[in-house]
Chain A
Amino acid sequence: MSNEIAILGAGMHPWGKWGHNFVEYGVAAAREALADAGVPWRDIRFVSGGATVRCGYPGYVAGATFAQALGWQGAEVNTSYAACASGSQALAAARNKILSGECEVALVVGADTTPKGFLAPAGGYRPEDPDWVRFYLGITNPTYFALYARRRMDVYGDTLEDFAAVKVKNSRVGSKNPRARYRKCFSAEDVAASAMVADPLRLMDICATSDGGAALVVSSLDYAKRMGKKHAPRVSAISTVTPTFASGVIEMPDIATDSAAAEGVEAIAYRSKIPLKAYEEAGIGPEDIDLAEVYDLSTALELDWIEDLQLAPRGEAAALLRAGDTALGGSIPVNVSGGLACFGEAVPAQALAQVCELTWQLRGEAGDRQVDGAKVGITANQGLFGHGSSVIVKA
């Protein structure tokens, strides 16, 4: 298909709390991706960075920051901010540059250093900022995850044991991932013994924040062929659609949804719309998917995503989980990287890390985590301010 690009290389700095500058993680990931691709740094004509807003000016201009750190060689740069979807937006910018013929090979990088504990807004008295308002009123990120989780329990009959089973599943496979931060296998008892944070979610149901970096080297299919890599995995679709009025689900950082009271307006859940464009663009459906990397900010949210990706009918993701279908070896493995449960969120790197995992899986290089015969993978994530993304990668 004409809108595909090749993934020549993938690289990651292991996730953790290393206490270094984010640039170090980005450069390490970039060098690994370049080496993996076999592309000399000087051949890269476009550097697309995911912005990290917590690191001041070098983070706001991530594309230039990484290009300079790798040594200025004249490549054009771009910096994308799209919250949790920043990496996908940076990838989309690289794809546009390649498909337009302006460049043949590009480097996409995201890296972050995150603070301990709750992510918090800027200070002052700023009622015009919804992020400030909700924190002032005592509403943190886990509040939203917990509201969705409780909804699942009440509407679909999901249980605390189901949520714990997601953590157990992801920790088991994540323990085999050398790039993951948390590599211990947790039991349902461990989850149940962890502190309640936002009922019904306990500490071990909620993902941490981490330092980390991820990078991809992407190119035109023509360039890949000339490199002798015509069988490299391809990005077949990138969706970064925004919500459609009226929002049907309360979303971080808002204190209220839109009103659907006007004539002709209906409430629409954003999350379920994100993958639709990806499926359409790739010309495939959920039945074609071999594995998925989804944004498990909470254990319960992984179940929401499975339904949003239409890998299970609405309300039936827990049944899939209980049958073992979403585990490694199941019919539709979800988060075989270990997911956010094992990584912790490094915002501008995370969407790229999802694509890195798909790349290794589709090449058959995922070792103990390998999904047998994986040919098509999908990612999904959603963050603040109407940002979300879904990427489809084909072998």
Chain B
Amino acid sequence: MSGKPQTPAIDGWHTMASSPHLIGTRCRSCGTYSFPKQAHYCRNPDCEGTEFEELELSRTGHIWSYTNACYKPPEPYVAAEPFVPYAIAAVQLEKEEMVILGQVVEGVTVEQLKVGMPVELVLEPLHETDDDIKVTWKWQPVAL
């Protein structure tokens, strides 16, 4: 990679720290977490909450299921040439009781993954622009 600055692919969805977190919200009325952030209304049908605290979600969880992308996705995905397949995991966060999707870090293939495997959140490049390197969250198996 070049010496370009790293910036988030999607602004405000995760911290940029070395131990990064996804940024979600928690309803001040009922405690429901949301990712991406929820600003105006709570998804809980029994809650009329309109105030949400922004917080960092758990950065560890367990794989609910996993797969990979063997073919280049269409735009707006920005693919490297040649296209390099990547693994994808749906990860269960225990405290938040929700599942969040993301790519798995480069170099890890589906053969190395299992349902229930512990993973943690890291940042990795998604693609490069003329000015910067766009990074996003990816799941890293803890034991690999």
CB nearest to A150 among chain B residues: B65
| Selected contact of B70 from candidates A125, A196, A261, CB within 8 Å | A196
CB 8 Å contact bits of A262-279 with B (1 = contact, 0 = none): 111101000000000000
| Chain B min CB distance to A20 (Å) | 24
Q: Which of B67, B76, B90, B100 contacts A199 (CB 8 A)?
A: B67
- Cβ contact within 8 Å between A136 and B27: no
Cross-chain contact A197 with B70 (CB below 8 angstroms): yes
**Stretch of A78-86, A115-123, A163-171, A326-334 with 4 or more beta carbons under 8 angstroms from chain B:** A115-123
In the bound complex, residues from chain A placing their C-beta under 8 Å from that of B47 are 262
**Chain B minimum-CB-distance residue to A115:** B74
Chain B residues near A195 (CB, 8 Å)?
Answer: 70
**Is B66 a contact partner of A135 (Cβ separation < 8 A)?**
no
Q: Is A367 an interface residue (CB 8 A)?
A: no
Indicate whether B126 reaches chain A with its CB closer than 8 angstroms. Answer: yes
Bound-complex Cα distance A130 to B14 (A): 16
Given contacts A143-B88, A150-B115, contact A260 B67 (CB under 8 A): no
Residue with the highest number of chain A CB atoms closer than 10 Å, among B32, B96, B99: B99
Whether, in the assembled complex, B142 has its beta carbon less than 8 Å from a beta carbon of chain A, the answer is no
B44 within 8 A of A: yes
- Bound-state Cα–Cα, A217 to B71, Å: 42
Q: Which of B32-76 contact A (CB under 8 A)?
A: 32-36, 43-47, 64-71, 73-76
| Inter-chain contacts of A143 with B (CB < 8 A) | 67, 69, 88, 101
With A120-B75, A255-B36, A267-B97 as contacts: A136 and B30 at CB distance below 8 Å? no
Name which residue of chain A comes closest to B136, CB basis: A137
Residues on the B chain within 8 Å of A137, using CB = 9, 77, 101-103, 126, 136
Report if A263-B30 is in contact (Cβ < 8 Å); known contacts: A245-B44, A255-B36: yes
- Report the interface size for chain A: residues with CB under 8 A from the other chain: 52
Q: Is A372 an interface residue (CB 8 A)?
A: no
Q: B residues 6-39 with Cβ under 8 Å of A? A: 9-11, 13, 27, 30-36
Contact A263 B68 (CB under 8 A): no
B65's partner among A124, A154, A245, A261 (CB-CB below 8 A) is A154
Question: Contacts of B115 on A, CB cut-off 8 Å?
Answer: 150-151, 154-155
| A258 and B43 contacting across the interface, CB-CB below 8 Å | yes
Cβ–Cβ < 8 Å partners of A196 in chain B: 70
Q: How far is the CA of A201 from the CA of B67 in the complex (A)?
A: 9
Q: How far is the CB of A357 from chain B (nearest CB, A)?
A: 30
Q: Which residues of A contact B70 (CB under 8 A)?
A: 195-199
Cα-based distance from A254 to B96 in the complex (angstroms): 16
A120 to B77, CA, bound (A): 10
Contact partner of A138 (CB less than 8 A), chosen from B35, B96, B103, is B103
Closest to B103 in A: A138
Q: How large is the interface on B (under 10, 10 to 19, 20 to 34, 35 or more residues)?
A: 35 or more
In the complex, the answer to whether A259 meets B77 with C-beta atoms within 8 Å is: no
Interface string of A70-93 (1 = CB under 8 A from B): 000000000000000000000000
Chain A residues near B9 (CB-CB < 8 A): 136-137
A147 touches B65 (CB 8 A): yes
Contact, CB under 8 Å: B76 / A123: yes
Question: Is the Cβ of B10 less than 8 Å from the Cβ of A136?
Answer: yes
CA distance A135 to B76 in the complex (A): 6
A138:B99 contact, CB within 8 angstroms = no
A-side interface residues toward B, CB under 8 Å? 117-118, 120-121, 123-125, 127, 132-140, 142-143, 146-151, 154-155, 195-201, 244-246, 249-250, 254-265, 267
Cβ contacts A to B, 19 pairs, < 8 Å? A120-B74, A124-B76, A133-B10, A135-B76, A138-B126, A139-B73, A147-B90, A148-B65, A151-B115, A201-B67, A245-B45, A255-B100, A256-B101, A259-B33, A259-B34, A259-B96, A262-B31, A262-B47, A263-B30
What is B's interface to A at a CB cutoff of 8 Å? 9-11, 13, 27, 30-36, 43-47, 64-71, 73-77, 86, 88, 90, 95-103, 110, 114-115, 126, 136
Can you list the 6 inter-chain pairs with the closest CB atoms, starting with the nearest?
A146-B67, A120-B74, A259-B33, A154-B115, A147-B65, A260-B97
For the A-B complex with A136-B77, A138-B88, A139-B69 known, give 20 more contacts whose Cβ atoms are closer than 8 Å. A121-B76, A136-B9, A137-B101, A138-B69, A139-B101, A140-B69, A142-B67, A146-B67, A154-B115, A199-B68, A245-B44, A245-B45, A256-B36, A256-B99, A258-B32, A259-B33, A261-B33, A262-B31, A262-B32, A262-B44
